[in-house]
Structure 1
């Protein structure tokens, strides 16, 4: 008689894995501790209830690409560790963080191509972000000095650039999925309640988006929204009531943004004057600004990459290398070097060279392909996820947040949904 214990263990692990999906989505931007527990639980459940074993050449392209990238990270760290001057603790800590990119695979496995589950997970992530923002918001400052509150960039538990990424993503979700959300309302009172909740969330996320003063986020957001709107439109779009209503909601959002910009006009003008001063005085070295520091970082990063073009210098060494350069252009007022190069693609080139960037590009391409095929019959969901990818990839041009805890949560959700909706982890079924 067969032993039922392994079957029972697998069934329990599968249920636990699904539960960890919901916990991770709800806590991703709400609680670091809960999100960490969910990550560990998801990985353990995957070990106890893995997919059917397949030869590596039958794995999905995304799985192959991320495994290749992680092997490159570990190998490059091992080679760099032979240099006694390299900070070994930082090197291996960063290598471990990069290997956490693998965690989207368990997420995709337990998602099991269930579209209703994917929508619930997106809703939980949105609710968790909203609750986290309200929880961390400085209510005392808002009550005592609204002007100072609006000028405060870092008050939602993330850095300003990260706040721009997450609130911008939430705005994309609200704009592109509004039609589906309101379609669930059977009665007028339910519909108006949903419209009110939608408007309040829109205002909260627009406030955080503008407060971040993250120009890279702002520049990346508009093309992502336009791409999402194009993909969300019916194949034969007509100038009917739906299109007009969608244009009206976009106009409402634009009005909200303009009002918030007006409240922050002084801060925005000050930052623009600072950048213009740097541009006008850059040749003489008489002006400095965040734009000037970033420009200096790009030049140093390019030089570092050309020194090690194929496999880079090793994980997590950018700040150490900038510090060694002695360039005053990448130091703040206290003389501390910038933490990163403010360009994700240049960071990958410096850390892992052309080979690492190629592995990353293949990974993204594989995820987008899985998403496109898996959501072929769901126009709105596919439009949203592709718009989020567009936003992230453009945002990475002027920012770097990879493998930090909050960014990792974003990655697991987006990559896991893209791969999981592709219906299978391996090409063999």
Structure 2
């Protein structure tokens, strides 16, 4: 039996942990567009300021040789220098360039390191990781509950989602993320619950997944839909072939999975005509793009995105090394025929092309090496059984979801998306750091 506490009382830096977690919950709760951004700004400001104070208070941490720390500091200097350069190039856009750079300066790389630093200092980082991710899912779920009125639910079931107030590609990502989280961590949550409470927990998990699934359908975010299908498939394969699958029974997991799949099939059956219509229409446009070219294809959201991708790649090739600066290029391309054709798309709807256009190959290299460090941390901790298999399963599926979603959307320069990525990256990196720091004085297996 695995000795792994799902909701532990943090035993190391306990006052710090319990002081940070409420602000963390409030920040995720503020993701809903209906709430005042003041909640999010105050919470994020507290998390960053408190994290920096705690970091500098730990004198040994400043001198530690950590590649992610050096990469984070270098990236901040690069963003500042590139923004200053862009401001000199377009003096009338000076203020807008610095405003665009805030999302990269305030969060991003430094937040990844601060979260990894916090996790690595905890006595049991696996427990803290599960607690943080569960709070993320709960915080986002509570933030979208006001949208679920009776008439809205009827509209979703009937496939008429145009007037549903909750929308946005990032909302689809967070909804899919929450579903993957519940599905992958269910084996531990259910297995370690006292028998008399299991039935209540199962119904709670089903309700949570149902709410998030409704939100995922309501957003109409194709990137989130596709990413969800692929991430769930990857999660299922990892679960089946996990080397540690014999450590926990599957019967409790199968109950929730069966209920979820049944609920999903019922929703798909109710909206089969809408789903079929969307797949066939977008398949037709994709065929037109391949056979006749994007310029002759029917103007839809797919063809608009392909136009913007091509336009972005052409702009990147004009300045391949350092890019054009932190702000999008629409302000210098008002008379461009492509921009006039897709006036509502204010960015390139592709995270990777957007990074190349704004910061060039040099800026993209910072992100690439950061992702390499994070993926290596996930691989190492999983292979060495440092983290529980379901947690590794969830982290891998979460990254698959974000990568697929990022091919269709871009929001990495916004604080909430940077914070989301900082969680996915900082947690596994922090767990790896914790294991390295305790190699000389090994502690009992945390799970």
TM-score (norm 1): 0.83
1:325 aligns with 2:330: no
Label 1:320 to 1:57 Cα distance change in 2 as closer, same or farther (>3 A).
farther
Identify the residue that residue 356 of structure 1 maps to in structure 2: 363
Report the Cα distance in structure 2 between the residues aligned to 1:329 and 1:279, rounded to whole angstroms: 22
Which residue of 2 is the match for residue 5 of structure 1? none
Q: What is the CA distance between 1:147 and its match in structure 2?
A: 4.9
Mark the runs of 5 or more structure 2 residues left unpaired by the alignment: 1-12, 440-447
**Pairwise CA distance, 1:81:** 1.1
- Decide whether aligned partners of structure 1 residues 296 and 128 sit closer, same or farther in structure 2, where only a CA change above 3 A counts: same
Inter-partner Cα distance in structure 2 for 1:227 and 1:272: 22
Q: Which residue of 2 aligns with 1:23?
A: 23
Q: Residues 46 and 244 (structure 1 numbering): CA distance in 2 closer, same or farther, change over 3 Å?
A: closer
Q: Given the alignment of the two structures, is residue 94 of structure 1 paired with residue 105 of structure 2, yes or no? A: no
Question: Cα deviation per residue 1:37-70 (whole Å; 9 max; x = unaligned)?
Answer: 2221122223332254469884422222232222
Q: How many residues align?
A: 408
Q: CA deviation at 1:23?
A: 2.0
Structure 1 residue 187 corresponds to structure 2 residue 195: yes
Q: Is 1:404 matched with 2:414?
A: yes
1:142-221 to 2 correspondences below 5 Å: 142=153, 147=157, 151-152=161-162, 155-156=165-166, 159=168, 161-188=169-196, 190-221=197-228
Which sections of structure 1, spanning at least 5 residues, go unmatched?
A: 1-12
What residue in structure 2 maps to residue 10 of structure 1? none
Following superposition, the deviation at residue 346 of structure 1 comes to 0.4
Q: Does 1:120 pair with 2:131? A: yes
The corresponding residue for 2:72 is: 66
Equivalent residues in 2 for 1:286-297, closer than 5 Å: 287-297=298-308
For the 8 Å contact 2:27–2:39, the answer to whether it is kept is yes
How far did residue 24 of structure 1 move?
1.0
Q: SS of the counterpart of 1:312?
A: coil
Q: Which residue of 2 aligns with 1:222?
A: 229
Which residue number in structure 2 is paired with residue 8 of structure 1?
none
TM-fit CA distance, 1:179 = 0.7
Stretch moving more, 113-122 or 259-268 = 259-268
Q: Distance in 1 between matches of 2:266 and 2:218?
A: 12
Per mean C-alpha deviation after superposition, the further-off stretch among 409-418 and 126-135 is: 409-418
Shift of 1:134: 0.9
- More displaced 10-residue stretch of structure 1: 49-58 or 103-112: 49-58
Deviation at 1:15, TM superposition (A): 3.5
More divergent stretch after superposition (384-393 vs 301-310): 384-393
Aligned-CA RMSD value? 3.3
Deviation string 1:208-262 (CA, Å, 9 cap, x unpaired) is 2222222222222233223333444541768x99457756754543332232223
Partner of 2:83: 77
Q: Is the 8 A contact 1:315 1:352 kept in 2?
A: yes
Quote the offset at 1:413 in angstroms. Answer: 2.4
